[in-house]
Structure 1
């Protein structure tokens, strides 16, 4: 299926709406260097997307590959929707973001197919996984209605599953959680299936897929004998039909309660981990369901300052504003109007953070001057309960410190899940 699907998807197309034009905006789409959003990667002048090179390297992508793809996009002479933005080539053809990243992904997929046919499962697993990650970047930032993105997502997830099918020791289970008349697909990663395991429910931000966080499991949670269940945020991936609303944790609450139906995990030992808006959802869930949650980790969580001050909100990159609008099923990301609709996302305004303490210990990780989650937010989360704490990154290189914090998180979660 994958081969036939790929052949259909890789024919050039010229009449597909370009990603940066899907969401209308009153200002230029060009990234203005108003603020260095340290936890997200680089805002580069001349690009619509944030270039998350260190994040992609952590996911397993080759940096040389990444620069090669970016160079092809930069050098393209094909028509762009905005001549000043390099990653806005119209259609699915040379120079288009999805096209170039998908071409790179296809090479890894073909190599994986070859290894699989030769019976080399180890190499097949590695290359299917790498293909999935390049397809995920091809889909990025995963805006609703983006035809190129939807095609790349399909291949990202199919290659991700193929990677696990070629590993006799890895265990990937698809969990289908009933929610609002439909079924939400989540991935459960297990250290083994000999015993039931404590589990961490993980969600990333609004511009990431659940197949992007495998290194967290492989390097941090699996060695601690902890399972990982990934969930796409509303409006993204397998949850793309859902609308992001003030109750950001409603999907995750359904997932949390469904743990009692999953035979491989210990429902009495469930922890949460969220990045960006995933951190908002899972911090909120810790307040809503304190008896079902052992502990929670939030990484650069958008919980307060970004929604409590319009001046902070106006500094967000346009791509981030578009992601917010897309997840809320809006077709315009005008900053003034969007801000009014996003104010209810503040956990401070909701009367949670800073108002009452819960029994669930929370760990907040972030950079002191991070735009979406500043030091005040980190300390607010740390005051959520008597056992909560914050880990504030202040020294460069930021991403190295962030990876060290993930190691600390795993140890912190292990301690609370084993109590």
Structure 2
């Protein structure tokens, strides 16, 4: 049986999951694949820290050259966060002639072109199943399972923190801050949740997924991003009256004029499969020309689910399957140039919540601006004012170009008709 020494850089939550899972389930891997994986060296900034679990026979050090200079270690599990040091370490592994398995979506979304090109030049692979949707094998599904399909669209819930918050807001009537605090208490949200709740985390994942699905380079700047911080229970309740749920949706759609990429809170009809993906789960809905709709649902984060994806990549790399894949698929190095659809040309139904002073003429002023911008209104509702004299006006539109809707909302806010920035949602 082939014995395969592995290097691990980064011994945090996911790194600990990889060590624990490999120590526990290596007999399963040996039985299925005929490979005896073992972690030979672990590099961490805090080698003496008590992590509550052992490292097996691995040498633990803070010196990266213990891995980079070891000719026995041909595959490195790279679990370093951030984009600067992580990029440098990833490139150092590549220059040392080592395959890299990583879970760092931000690094690949921002520096993927450089990293994949360096790997191709050195004849090594960079595998990243764990970077998108944790334990859900979505990269393999799109890259391999749907290889004979033209991908038309991907709609995905890619952030468990946001999905948990929105579920709590809907089912328990909690506000955003209260639901976020509970997510942090349960370990579903970071102490600083900014990259989760502002949509950045989902955007990084979408860029990687779209790169494979559409065989193209996806600059992260071409992904339009909105978060969930401004949502209130009123928005959740209004969605329910429209037979929808609000989800932070990452969407990549092929349009006649180019590729549309967006991460934003979105009205998802209750009959759509993604509407039932709740709590901290992730869901990916892929529409392709031959297989039709494909739905994948599962744990999108956490130590063991992510470790499962990491070790799946490790097996693919050390068995020789993944390096062969990396040589044959052009999205790793080149990718075709694509046009990207600007937000003003998106075409969909929309929702807006205007926070207004309770005085005569406000509703008429809003409808007048909407009409001037060519916005066709499906429904409009004004709620009772609160004790402070503030009221909510909610507008639902027929499908229309995004430019018309955005211009109307901007004009309404500029005209002094509102007292808070207007909240807008698109419909799936």
Higher relative contact order (CA 8 A, sep 6+): 2
Q: Which has the higher strand share?
A: 2
TM-score of the aligned structures, taking structure 2 as reference length: 0.26
TM-score of the aligned structures, taking structure 1 as reference length: 0.27
